[in-house]
Amino acid sequence: MPHVIVKLAAGRSEPEKFALAEEITRAVTETLGYGPDAVSVSIEDVAPKDWAEHVFTPDIIDKTDTLYKKPGYKLSDLQS
């Protein structure tokens, strides 16, 4: 029963978020063999100014053991 949490820079529309949730659900069902009713997706908006503190450090830097896709930016890129 996968639950996927997406932390997203604030500003995307509700239709974009629903489309993303549908694509994530499709990917999970195709890749892992679950039915769509077993998948849930939540999207958390994060203000860009809060990204380093609320996402980059706690979810990327501090959790490298569970990070399967690394970002192509660094913390210093967010601070400039």
- Give every CB contact of residue 1 below 8 A, 6+ residues apart in sequence: 34, 38, 39, 40
d(CA 43, CA 18): 9
71 is annotated as an active-site residue = no
The one catalytic residue among 2, 15, 36, 71: 2
Tokens (6 digits) for 45: 């908006």
Catalytic residue numbers, as ranges: 2
